[in-house]
Each structure stands twice: as structure tokens, then as C-alpha cells.
Amino acid sequence: MHDNHSLTDYQSVRQLAIRSLFEIFEQFSEGTVIVDRDARIVWINQRYAQRFGLDGAEQAIGRPVESVIPGSLMREVVRSGRPMLLDILDMPRDPLVVMRMPIRDDAGQVIGAIGFALFDELRSLSPLLTRYQRMRQELASTRSLLQARQAKYSLAHFIGNGSASLEVKRRARRAAASEAPVLLLGETGTGKELLAHAIHSASARAGKAFVSINAAAIPETLLEAEFFGTAPGAFTGADRKGRPGKLQIAQGGTLFLDEIGDMPLPLQSKLLRVLQEKEFEPVGSNEVLRSDVRLIAATSIDLDKAVREGRFRADLYYRINVVPIVIPPLRERLEDLPALCEAILDDLREDRHALYELGADALDLLRRHAWPGNVRELRNLLERSVLLNDRTQLDAQALHAALGPLQAPPAPAGGSRASLAEGQDFHAARAAFERELIGNVLAEHAGNVEAAARRLGLGRSTLYKKMAALGLSS
């Protein structure tokens, strides 16, 4: 009779056990989180939220779980429907031992997942964790240089869902699937280096080094040595042991050559040999080294024009222009502004431990701005607005204060659109716009190029080059 009674009560006992188990885990674990079928957080306890830098649990609700818990695999549990009963979540200080389980409805469909961080209560795992930490330290010491050369960004970091941005990401994915040279074309501040990182991280070379070199930032006399390396005592002041160049450091990985349009002609010839013959010689050496690198080049200048003017080798241009990707300026993808602002303000939140939001009037102001410095200028403006504003809600007034004397241009009257003057093409119209804008900003700063560059969100060398191309002087 007792057995029959036990069988009859099985469902209620099971429900009590499930509830007790959850309460025990929630009370004694380091943290508990529940996500929905889209891996967005629907509940998280207070101490777990605070562990990841939030002031309170409510700040996590509705956010993708990875944006709160970096490295979380809850999305994989929801996708596969399979539990992860014991795993290690890497943390900056101590790793967490975690358990992840799918949540199903009465029909057996996965509707979410629940995760527990169990580290402090699984004392029996301490030998395993000690061994894991020792192995991690050994691995870190042997891989420290390689880790410093890893790509910092993935395609997820290129923010935007507009048609232009989606096309950029589509071409980048196709580029990542091949070994062909990639040429990134776009104005300064559009995200060329970020996209280069992303292509590398999505390629078969992702586990190897990502090495970048800026042809505009290194003096011409040192650029060849920086690129090819030097033999021992190759010239006065050279390292007696020799010095590896960026080509050697990037062996097996990706070499990102930024501002390739500024590369001197003699070095262009040597780069062409590297691409064609897959070999090179360090400066001052007769030794021929094999080269196995994937080249991603970028430029903000018009390479077609540079070739016509004899400033860039036509044969090198054809060699690097196998997979061209044009990154549109911010003013041509304004539909991405809300997502870009959200991502930038989210980064600033992590730095300053406050949640910032833009008002509708602020977004309207941003849509009317010309953005000569593109996404870099947008980030600069939002960061300055945060620093100058005590409130977490940023309105148009707060952005006006950060913009300074140069305000957003007024919206066209009567819905009229920008048009070309008689006999003027796109390039001439853009040059006229840049000449007027840069000239006005220089005048506002009494010809101070450094101050004008900061205001425009441009590098000083980039502004000097634009001034020279446009016939402007300070």
C-alpha cells in the first residue's frame, strides 16, 4: 500500500524535487541566468549581474546573453537542445564551472535555457581546476606573442543592417573563404582595419598571426626595413642580430597593409615580387626567404587616379585588386546610425559603468550631420558627449555642446535633394564639398591643422594629404 501511494505521488514529489533543486542551485551557486529561444536574457540574479559589471539585474533583461556574459554558450544549448552538464567559463580572474540546460515546454519544444555558475560549491573539482589553471598559464606564456598578433574583431563588430553594410559583409565573407588579395577602399574612419581583422578571423588563417603595417605612418627610409626585416649589421645602427620584418612575423597568417597608396614606388616593385614569386630578401642580405602570407591592403585615396598620374604601379594595382570591397561613408548608410550609436554607447557603458541612451531628437541631429570623419568621428562625438554630460540620456542639446562651432547642416527645404552642378560628376562634387568643409574648419581654428584634424575626426597626416590634394593651405 505504501508503494502504491509513493507511485501515485510521483509527479508531485518530482515537482517538489525540481523546485528544491533550483532553489539550492540559485542560493548556493555563483550565479543563475535564464534565456529565451533567441538567447536573450529574461532573468538573472543580482550577484551574477554584478559579477559582469552591471549595477543591477534589470540592466541585463532583453540583451543577448553574450553581451553580458562574454564567451557564454547558452545560445548553443538553445540551438542544439542538448545540455552542457559541466563546462568551464573563462573569466579574467578565476574560471567558473558552469552547468547549462535547455528548457522545454509541455510539447517538448526548446523555449530557452538555464545556466548555473557552480564554482564555489564544487570543492571536489579543485584538483581539476588547479591543473586547468596551471595548463592555462603555461599555454599563455608560450602563446603570448601569437596572442598579441591575433585579430581583434570579427564581422559581428562591423555594425549595420542596411543594404550597403550587408553587401560589405557578404563580400567580406566571400573574401575570407579565399586566399586572394583583398583591397579595401573607403574614406578614413569607415572601418577598413576592423574589416581586415574580421576577414582574417573568418579565414582558414585565423589561428595564425595578423600583422598590420601603415605605409603612411612610417618614414620612407625605414619602411623597407620594417617590411622586409634586416640582416645583421645591414646599416649603421641596425641590430647586430638582425631584425625580422613584418613579412616574416606574418608568416602563415595575414599581412594588413594600410594606406598602400602612400607606398614609395621602389618598394611597390619589391612588394609585387613578393606577391608573384612568394619570396623576398631582408635588407642587406642575399638570403632569399619564402613568403606565405595573405595580403589585405587598404587605401583612402583614388588608386585609379594614382596609377594614371604614375604614383602607383599599374601592375601592382591589378595584382592587389583581385577582391575589391568598397566601404561606404557613414553619410551613405545613415540607416545604420541607431545600431552604431547603440554599440558605441554600450562600449562606453563598460568603460564608465553607466547605461547611456540617445533621445529621438539627438538621432535626428546625427542624421543631418555630414560625417567627414565617418564612424571614427561618430565615436569621438559620442565619447565627448558622455564626458561633457552628467545625465545618461543624451539629447540634441548635449550633442550640440559636443559638436562645437560646426553644427549639423539644416535639412533641405521642401524635401529637395542634393544635386550636381552643370558638368560636375560625383568625384568633383565630393571634392568641392570637402574643400569647403575643410576650409571652414581650418578658418574656425585659425589655420591650426592639428586642432582642425581633431575637430574633423581625421588623423593629422590624412588631413595634410587631403589639403594637398584639394589645393588648400593652412
Give the CATH number for residue 20: 3.30.450.20
6-20, 354-368, 446-460: range with lowest mean pLDDT: 6-20
Cβ neighbours for 307, distance < 8 A, ≥ 6 positions apart: 313, 314, 317
Same domain, 311 and 359: no
In Å, what is the CA distance from 266 to each residue of 99, 214, 223, 272, 289?
A: 59, 16, 11, 10, 19
Any domain includes 146: no
In Å, what is the CA distance from 208 to each residue of 142, 204, 251, 256?
A: 14, 9, 8, 13
Same domain, 294 and 373: no
Domain-ending residue, one of 285, 304, 326: 326
Which residues span the domain enclosing 169? 155-326
Is 455:442 a contact under the CB 8 Å cutoff?
no
pLDDT of residue 8: 57
Give the C-alpha separation, 470 to 67, whole Å: 43
Same domain, 170 and 319: yes
The confidence band for 181, taking pLDDT boundaries of 50, 70 and 90, is very high
Q: Which of 292, 279, 295, 290 is nearest to 200 (CA)?
A: 295
Cβ neighbours for 256, distance < 8 A, ≥ 6 positions apart: 193, 196, 197, 200, 210, 211, 212, 213, 296, 297, 298
The confidence band for 86, taking pLDDT boundaries of 50, 70 and 90, is confident
| Average pLDDT taken over every residue of the chain | 82
For residue 401, count other CB atoms closer than 10 A to its CB: 12
pLDDT beyond 90 at 196: yes
Domain-ending residue, one of 111, 126, 141: 126
Q: At what angle do helices 337-352 and 360-368 cross, to 10 degrees?
A: 120
Give the C-alpha separation, 348 to 375, whole Å: 15
pLDDT beyond 60 at 5: no
Mean predicted confidence (pLDDT) in 383-402: 83
| Element counts in the chain: helices (H) and strands (E) | 20, 16
Is the pLDDT higher at 405 or at 150? Answer: 150
Any domain includes 144: no
Q: Which of 76, 56, 50 is nearest to 65 (CA)?
A: 76
Mean predicted confidence (pLDDT) in 357-365: 86
Strand pairing partners for 104? 110
Radius of gyration of the chain (CA): 28
Same domain, 13 and 63: yes
Same domain, 339 and 462: no
Mean predicted confidence (pLDDT) in 379-391: 85
Same domain, 118 and 12: yes
For residue 159, count other CB atoms closer than 10 A to its CB: 18
Any domain includes 133: no
Mean predicted confidence (pLDDT) in 354-376: 86
Same domain, 160 and 300: yes
Number of domains making up the chain: 4
Same domain, 201 and 242: yes
pLDDT per residue as tens digits for the range 26-45: 676 778 899 999 999 999 98
CATH classification of the domain holding 434: 1.10.10
CATH classification of the domain holding 309: 3.40.50.300
pLDDT of residue 414: 42
pLDDT of residue 431: 77
Domain-ending residue, one of 106, 126, 146: 126
pLDDT of residue 463: 85
pLDDT of residue 44: 92
Any domain includes 318: yes
Same domain, 94 and 215: no
CATH classification of the domain holding 403: 1.10.8.60
162-166, 249-253, 336-340, 397-401: range with lowest mean pLDDT: 397-401
Same domain, 284 and 343: no
The confidence band for 418, taking pLDDT boundaries of 50, 70 and 90, is low
The confidence band for 254, taking pLDDT boundaries of 50, 70 and 90, is very high
- Label residue 33 exposed, middle or buried (CB < 10 Å: 0-12, 13-18, 19+): buried
pLDDT beyond 50 at 309: yes
Q: Which of 157, 52, 62 is nearest to 379 (CA)?
A: 157
Cβ neighbours for 85, distance < 8 A, ≥ 6 positions apart: 99, 101
Q: Give the rounded percent of residues in the chain with a pLDDT score beyond 70.
A: 83
Give the C-alpha separation, 338 to 458, whole Å: 22
pLDDT beyond 60 at 122: no
Any domain includes 383: yes
pLDDT of residue 239: 53
Same domain, 292 and 350: no
Mean predicted confidence (pLDDT) in 177-182: 94
In Å, what is the CA distance from 237 to each residue of 217, 247, 267, 445?
A: 21, 21, 21, 41
pLDDT beyond 70 at 447: yes
Any domain includes 132: no
Same domain, 308 and 368: no
Cβ neighbours for 47, distance < 8 A, ≥ 6 positions apart: 30, 31
Mean predicted confidence (pLDDT) in 364-378: 88
- H or E element at residue 14: helix 10-28
pLDDT per residue as tens digits for the range 231-240: 876 555 555 6
Give the C-alpha separation, 378 to 46, whole Å: 33
Mean predicted confidence (pLDDT) in 162-166: 89
The confidence band for 413, taking pLDDT boundaries of 50, 70 and 90, is very low
Any domain includes 230: yes
pLDDT beyond 50 at 415: no
pLDDT of residue 443: 77
Any domain includes 138: no
